[in-house]
Structure 1
Amino acid sequence: MDTFPKCSVCHNEFTLKGPVPFLLPCLHAVCEKCVTSAAGGVISCSTCQREVNLTDTSLQKNAVRQKEIFHLTVKHRPTELLCTHEDDGNQAVCWCQGCEEFLCEYCQNMHSSFKLSRNHAVHNFGDITPQNLENGTHCSIHERYPLDLFDKSCNMCICSQCRRGKHADHEVGYLDEAAEEVTQRIEQHGKDLSALLSRQQTHLQSIRQDTQLANRTQDTLRKTIEHTFRSLRSQLDQREKELLIDLECQTRDTKATLHALEASCEEHHARCTDISGYIQKCLLYASTSVLLQLETTVEGMTRTCLETPSPETHDVPEAVFNTNGLSKLKSDMSGFGNITTLTEDSEEVTPEDKQTQTNDDYLVDLEQKHKMELAKLKSNIASDNERTEQLQQLTDKLNAEANNMKLMLAEKDITCQVASETIHHLQTFLIDFPTEGCVHLLKIGVADRRMVLHCLRLKYDKDRANLQKVHINTEGHLINRKSGIRPAVKGRLMEYSGTCSTVPLPRAGCPQYWEMKSRVCLDKTLPEDLLILEVGVCQEERRDVCHCIGGRPASYSMSVVHCTTHGGICRTTWMGMTYFVGMYLPCLPDTLPNSAGASHTLHYGVAYDDAREKIVFIDVKENKVISTIDIVDSSQPLWPMFGVYNPGDVTVSMTLVVGSDINMTEEKKAMIVKALL
Structure 2
Amino acid sequence: MDTFPKCSLCQQQFTLKGPAPYLLPCLHAVCETCVTSAAGGVISCSTCQRGVNLTDTRLQKDAVRQEEIFHLTVKHRPTELLCTNEDDGNQAVCWCQDCEEFLCEYCQNMHSSFKLTKNHVLQNFGDMGPTVSNIPSYCSIHKHHPLYLFDKSCKKLICARCRIEDHADHEVVDLDVVADIVTKQLDHHKNELSKLQARQQSHMQSLGSKFTDKTHTILKKSIGHTFQSLRSQLDQREKELLIDLESQTKETKATLHAQLTTCEEEWKTCTGALDYIAKVFLYASKSDIVELESYVGDLTRTYLETAAPQTHVVPTAVFNTNSLSTLKSTISVFGAILPREVDEESVKDKDTQTEDDFMADLEMKHKMDLTELKTKIASDEKHIETLKTLTDKLNVEIRSLKSRIEEKETTEKSASNTIGDVYIDVTGVARECGVHLLKSEVVDRSMVLKCIHLKYDKDRVNLDYVHINTEGDLVNRKSDTRPAGKGRLKKYHGTCSTAPLPRAGCPQYWETVNRVSLEEPLTGSNLILEVGVCREEQRDVSHHIGRQPSSCCMQVVRCPTHGGICRRTWKEGKYVLCLPDTLPNTAGASHTLHYGVVYDDARKKIVFIDVKENKVISKLDNVDSSQPLWPMFGVYMPSLGNVSMTLAVGSDINMTEEKKAMIVGALS
How high is the TM-score relative to the length of structure 2?
0.48
TM-score (norm 1): 0.48
Question: Computing the radius of gyration over CA atoms, which structure comes out larger, 1 or 2?
Answer: 1
